[in-house]
């Protein structure tokens, strides 16, 4: 995400696969996708070999027992571990499998690419939103499950929230309509380290200079709150915070009163090195999804560790629908 992302992630993009977790989507799912009008959506992402996607029945006669889980990664990441910076959901998939889930109950597809030099150019655009919405619809139809759950990280949180909520989007690549809300088909939504109220690093000139920070469909947090100006991450604020005008995309989602799932959970870390400022944006945690049923706050995890090292907690919130102590 934005300037900080480039500093953190401009390290190595050498392909490194771990955990023995590998995709792509099963042949059964790929055949189904082709037969049901999804063949041009490129959910397989074979450009990342085995790491671009995950999930699907081994045979068409199989049935999902657990509520299927869809994982949505963040900016410049991938479905499964592809490099030292794009670590994907390999740890989470491995943990869920160890707890009795099957390949047919765990799904992921990569969006955009893992080029960290492009991190500041990514927005909540129609291409990604429409494609990810179709992926949810495909998983629901393919598994025949009455509901699915979502585990999301970073920019995947806000993408995930919107594809559930549906509705129109005014984006950098045009306008689109994602269709009606499908929140009645989502059992649990878990957002890890999301920027639901924007990023403080996007205030001021960044909103103009970096696409990710733009005021329409980006992560702009607003430049002022009452008499507080360009002090988004300050806590406590110098003056009472009377009102904030921030990203139109985020504002619409946060005020539409559509809860993303039966159970909504938020998690973040005070040591997040991308969001920074103890996760605060104008006096409130930016990772706290409105109408959350519970929250988990970590003290020492980095931005990526909030995803990589919390598989057990993710499982507890999705499977047991409680916040772990």
Q: What is the mean pLDDT of residues 17-33?
A: 87
- Domain membership of residue 303 (yes or no) is yes
**Structural domain for 31, as ranges:** 2-197+248-320
Q: Which is it for strands 224-225 and 228-229: parallel, antiparallel or unpaired?
A: antiparallel
- Domain membership of residue 215 (yes or no) is no
Q: Which residue has the higher pLDDT, 208 or 52?
A: 52
What pLDDT was estimated at residue 60? Answer: 63
Q: What is the mean pLDDT of residues 75-87?
A: 96
What pLDDT was estimated at residue 1? Answer: 46
Chain segment 233-257, per-residue pLDDT in tens: 999 999 999 889 999 999 999 999 9
Return the CATH number at 129: 3.40.50.1820
Number of domains in the chain: 1
CA 17/CA 139 separation, integer angstroms: 25
Q: What is the mean pLDDT of residues 144-172?
A: 97
Share of the chain above pLDDT 70, in %: 94
- Domain membership of residue 170 (yes or no) is yes
- Domain membership of residue 218 (yes or no) is no
- Which residues does 35 contact at the CB level (< 8 Å), separation at least 6? none
Q: pLDDT confidence of 132, banded at 50, 70, 90?
A: very high
pLDDT at 13 over 80: no
Q: Work out the mean pLDDT of the chain and round it to a whole number.
A: 93
Q: pLDDT confidence of 266, banded at 50, 70, 90?
A: very high
Q: Supply φ then ψ for residue 144, to 5 degrees.
A: 60, 25
Share of the chain above pLDDT 90, in %: 90
What pLDDT was estimated at residue 14? Answer: 34
Q: pLDDT confidence of 172, banded at 50, 70, 90?
A: confident
- Domain membership of residue 235 (yes or no) is no
What pLDDT was estimated at residue 62? Answer: 77
- Domain membership of residue 216 (yes or no) is no
Beta strand residue intervals within the chain, DSSP E: 53-54, 69-72, 106-109, 148-153, 168-171, 174-177, 186-192, 224-225, 228-229, 263-269, 280-281, 284-285, 294-298
- Domain membership of residue 314 (yes or no) is yes
- Domain membership of residue 205 (yes or no) is no
């Amino acid at each position: 995400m934005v300037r900080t992302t480039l500093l953190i992630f401009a390290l190595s993009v050498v392909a490194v696969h771990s955990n023995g977790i590998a995709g792509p989507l099963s042949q059964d799912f790929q055949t189904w996708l082709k037969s049901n009008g999804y063949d041009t959506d490129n959910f397989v992402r074979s450009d990342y070999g085995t790491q671009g996607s995950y999930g699907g029945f081994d045979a068409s006669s199989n049935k999902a027992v657990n509520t299927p889980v869809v994982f949505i990664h963040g900016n410049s990441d991938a479905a499964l571990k592809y490099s030292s910076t794009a670590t994907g959901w390999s740890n989470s998939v491995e943990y869920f499998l160890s707890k009795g889930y099957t390949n047919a109950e765990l799904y992921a597809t990569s969006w955009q690419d893992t080029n960290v030099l492009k991190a500041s150019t990514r927005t909540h655009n129609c291409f990604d939103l429409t494609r990810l919405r179709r992926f949810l619809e495909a998983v629901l139809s393919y598994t025949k499950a009455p509901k699915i759950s979502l585990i999301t990280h970073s920019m995947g949180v806000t993408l995930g929230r919107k594809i559930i909520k549906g509705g129109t989007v005014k984006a950098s690549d045009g306008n689109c309509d994602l269709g009606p809300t499908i929140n009645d088909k989502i059992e649990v939504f878990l957002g890890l380290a999301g920027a639901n109220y924007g990023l403080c690093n996007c205030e001021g000139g960044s909103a103009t200079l970096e696409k990710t920070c733009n005021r329409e469909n980006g992560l702009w947090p607003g430049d002022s709150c009452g008499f507080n100006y360009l002090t988004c991450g300050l806590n406590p604020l110098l003056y009472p915070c009377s009102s904030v005008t921030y990203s139109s995309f985020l504002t619409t989602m946060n005020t539409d009163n559509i809860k993303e799932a039966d159970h909504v959970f938020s998690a973040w870390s005070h040591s997040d090195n991308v969001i920074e400022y103890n996760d605060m944006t104008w006096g409130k945690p930016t990772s706290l999804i409105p109408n959350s049923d519970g929250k988990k706050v970590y003290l020492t995890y980095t931005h990526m560790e909030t995803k990589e090292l919390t598989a057990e907690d993710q499982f507890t919130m999705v499977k047991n629908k409680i916040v772990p102590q």
